[in-house]
């Protein structure tokens, strides 16, 4: 009997030590970590969404940690301890089958996009292997007063009725949109909206206005490969690789009068400062496009704009970083 008690006691002691080392100790250390600049506690709705996120196993495929390696620049700046003051360790994840979500509130800031993606990921990301979460939505004949139907593309929508998010869907989207990296002195976002941005600050600042000007003065040459890469990282999720957008949700760039126009002012202003409620071809798009002025340099925005202005049958003239700087200087 005594040997059995010794074995049991030893095993229990080892278990307690392990718990102290890998759970209690890190938890105490985390609780003492001051919040990073701009890091705020979750609202009640966002906290509810975090429970939905954890309860549905989202952390099995998505991480919330950006490692300090080149491959992770696409997700944002390297994570810092202060980013996790109001989070819990299990949300960090360990398997990245899907994209890292550390900065998804900045990279995919549209609630419309998030709802469509949850309802059927293939509707906005054709190559996605993520399962749909249709059970977080309900189909009704008509949207109730005060609620807005999700503009699911026709080929993915139910045959009859409209799609309405449930409380759990609203909470989950609120949580996802709360996942935003804040700027930390000494760190570069290295990507802003999609991770392909230049590490240099926007060209309107004194530190970067000279390089932008010299690029223009020296004969700016459109980098088609970089333009496509920047578009893919920052724009294609909503506007799609085909430039045709998502019907009823995100406007097309193909044949868009603001894009395929020799006067680039409106096009550049939209990329820099965002837009909402635009009407194209008689169709109003309620989704909001975020501004890129704070994430992308003038040269990067010129490359994106030129890719859009010369793709999918568009034939507008190329723009230069100097033209982007001029529109930026005018402000909103």
Q: What is the pLDDT of residues 256-285, one digit of tens each?
A: 999 999 999 999 999 999 988 888 888 888
Last residue of a domain, one of 121, 153, 187: 187
Containing structural domain, residue 139: 41-187
Q: Which of 68-72, 216-220, 231-235 has the lowest mean pLDDT?
A: 216-220
Q: What is the Cβ-side half-sphere exposure of residue 233, based on CA atoms within 13 angstroms?
A: 27
Mean pLDDT of 152-156: 91
In this prediction, residue 186 has a pLDDT band, given cuts at 50, 70 and 90, of low
| Residue 275: both structure tokens together | 């837009």
How many domains are there within the chain? Answer: 2
* Helices first, then strands: H and E counts in the chain: 12, 4
Give the pLDDT of residue 211.
Answer: 38
Q: Is residue 14 part of a domain?
A: no
Q: Which residue has the higher pLDDT, 42 or 4?
A: 42
pLDDT, mean of residues 55-74: 91
Q: What is the pLDDT of residue 136?
A: 98
Q: How confident is the model at residue 214 (pLDDT cuts 50, 70, 90)?
A: very low
Task: Give me the pLDDT at residue 283, please.
Answer: 85
The SS3 of residue 16 is helix
Confidence of residue 192 (pLDDT cuts 50, 70, 90): very low
Question: For position 178, which CATH number holds?
Answer: 1.10.760.10
Residues 48 and 148 in one domain: yes
For 92, what's the count of Cα atoms within 13 Å in the CB-facing half-sphere? 13
- Do 253 and 300 have their domain in common? yes
DSSP secondary structure string, 105-153? HHHS--HHHHHHHHH-GGGT-TT--PPP-GGGEEEESSPPTT---B---
pTM of the model: 0.74
Residue 2 inside a domain? The answer is: no
């Amino acid at each position: 009997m005594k040997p059995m008690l010794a074995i049991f006691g030893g095993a229990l002691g080892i278990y307690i030590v392990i718990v102290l080392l890998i759970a209690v100790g890190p938890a105490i250390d985390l609780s003492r970590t001051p919040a990073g600049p701009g890091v705020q506690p979750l609202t009640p709705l966002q906290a509810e969404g975090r429970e939905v996120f954890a309860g549905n196993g989202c952390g099995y495929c998505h991480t919330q940690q950006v490692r300090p390696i080149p491959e992770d620049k696409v997700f944002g700046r390297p994570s810092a301890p202060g980013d996790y003051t109001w989070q819990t360790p299990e949300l960090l994840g360990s398997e990245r089958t899907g994209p890292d979500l550390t900065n998804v509130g900045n990279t995919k800031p549209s609630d419309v996009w998030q709802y469509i993606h949850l309802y059927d990921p293939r509707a906005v990301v054709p190559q996605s292997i993520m399962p749909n979460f249709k059970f977080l939505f309900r189909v009704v004949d008509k949207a109730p007063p005060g609620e807005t139907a999700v503009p699911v593309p026709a080929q993915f929508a139910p045959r009859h009725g409209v799609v309405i998010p449930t409380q759990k869907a609203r909470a989950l989207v609120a949580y996802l949109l709360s996942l935003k990296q804040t700027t930390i002195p000494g760190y570069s976002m290295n990507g802003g909206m999609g991770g392909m941005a230049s590490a240099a600050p926007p060209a309107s600042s004194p530190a970067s206005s000279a390089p932008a000007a010299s690029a223009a003065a020296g004969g700016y040459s459109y980098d088609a490969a970089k333009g496509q890469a920047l578009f893919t990282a920052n724009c294609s999720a909503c506007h799609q690789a085909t430039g045709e957008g998502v019907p009823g949700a995100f406007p097309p760039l193909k044949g868009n009068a603001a894009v395929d126009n020799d006067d680039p002012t409106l096009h550049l202003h939209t990329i820099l400062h965002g837009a909402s409620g635009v009407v194209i071809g008689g169709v109003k798009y309620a989704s909001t496009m975020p501004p890129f002025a704070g994430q992308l340099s003038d040269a990067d925005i010129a490359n994106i704009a030129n890719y859009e202005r010369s793709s999918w049958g568009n034939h507008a003239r190329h723009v230069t970083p100097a033209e982007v700087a001029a529109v930026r200087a005018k402000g909103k």
